[in-house]
Amino acid sequence: MAYVMIKKMNIIYILITILIVALVITNVYFYLENINQSSLVRQNQLSQMGEKAEDVWSRLSSFEGWYYDSMWRLHYYVEGSFSDSFSNQTKESLIWTTGYLLHRYSDRVSYDVERDLTSLKWLDGTSRAIYENISDTLKYALVQIDWTMLGRGNLTESYTLLWELYYMLGVDQSENLSGLGGIENSFNLLSIYWSSEYYFILTNGRQKIPSDCPKPETALEWALGNATVLYQQLNEWHERTKPN
C-alpha cells in the first residue's frame, strides 16, 4: 500500500512539474510575442513618422524652389538687362501672373503640410503643442503671397512686397538657415533620425543611428525656434505694409 501511495505521489509530482514547465513556456512565448508585436508597432510608427517628416521637408523645399525660380525669372523681365524691351503693361501682367501662380501653389503646399503635421502630431504624441505651433506658423507664412497682391495701389508695390517676403521667408539662403529653410532642415533631420531608428530596430541594432544626427526633440526645438521668429517677423511686416 505504501508503495502504491508513493507511486501515485510521484506521478502527481511529475504532472505538476509538466504543468509548471508548460506554464513557464507559455508565459515566455507570450512575453516574446508581446515584445515582437511591440517592435512591429514601433517600426510601423517610425516608418510613418519618417515618411511624414520627409513630406514636410520636400513640400517646403519645393515651394522655396518655385518661389526662387519665379522671382528671378520675373526680375529678368522687370529689372534685368533686357527689361527695356518690355512695356509697363507687359511687366504688370507678368507680376500679376507670377503672384497668382505663387498663391495657388502656396495654397496647395499649405494644405498638404498642415495634413502632414496633423498626422505627425498624433503619431508622435509627446510634442503635440510644438507641432500645432509650427503648423500655425507655416499656414500663416504660406498664405502671405495673397497679402502682397491684394489691395495695393499698383503692381509695382506688389513686386516690392514679393521680394520682401522672399527674403523674410529665407528663400535666398543656402547656409545659416532661418525661416522656412530652418524649419525645412529640421524636418529633414527628423526624417533621417526616424528612418535610422526604424532600420536600427529592423536589424536588431546592427545598423546604427548616425551619431551626428540630432535627437528628434532637439530638431523640433530648432523648428519651433525658427517658427517663433518667423511669426513675429511676419506680424511686424503686416503692420508696416498695410494697404492704404
- Residue 170 phi/psi, 5-degree rounding, is 80, 25
Q: Which helix (H) or strand (E) holds 46?
A: helix 2-78
Burial class (CB in 10 A: 0-12, 13-18, 19+), 150: exposed
Q: What is the pLDDT of residue 228?
A: 95
Mean pLDDT (whole number) for 73-90: 82
Q: Is the pLDDT of residue 74 over 60?
A: yes
**pLDDT grade, residue 12 (50/70/90)?**
low
The structure's pTM equals 0.82
Closest Cα partner for 214 from 190, 184, 187, 185? 190
Whether the predicted pLDDT of 26 surpasses 60:
no
C-alpha cell at 113: 503640410
For residue 9, the model assigns a pLDDT of 58
Mean pLDDT of the chain: 83
In a domain, 13, yes or no: no
Q: Is the dihedral of CA 115, 117, 122, 124 positive or negative?
A: positive
Considering the domain boundaries, does residue 1 fall inside one? no
Of 51, 50, 43, 57, nearest to 194 by C-alpha is 50
- Is 36 inside any structural domain? no
Q: Convert the pLDDT of each residue in 86-140 to its tens digit.
A: 788 888 899 999 999 999 999 999 999 999 999 999 998 778 899 999 999 999 9
pLDDT of residue 212: 86
Nearest to 64 by CA among 202, 154, 170, 136: 170
Label residue 30 by pLDDT band (50, 70, 90).
very low
- Tell me what pLDDT residue 38 has: 59
Asked, for residue 2, whether it belongs to a domain, the answer is no
pLDDT at 192: 93
Query: Based on the structure, what is the number of domains in the chain?
Result: 1
Whether 21 is in a domain gets the answer no
- In-domain check, residue 173: yes
Cα-Cα end-to-end distance for the chain: 113
pLDDT digits (tens, 9 = 90+) for 178-200: 889 999 999 999 999 998 888 88
CA gap 142, 221 in Å, rounded: 21
In a domain, 31, yes or no: no
pLDDT at 209 over 50: yes
Is residue 18 a part of any domain in this protein? no
Boundaries of domain holding 55: 42-240
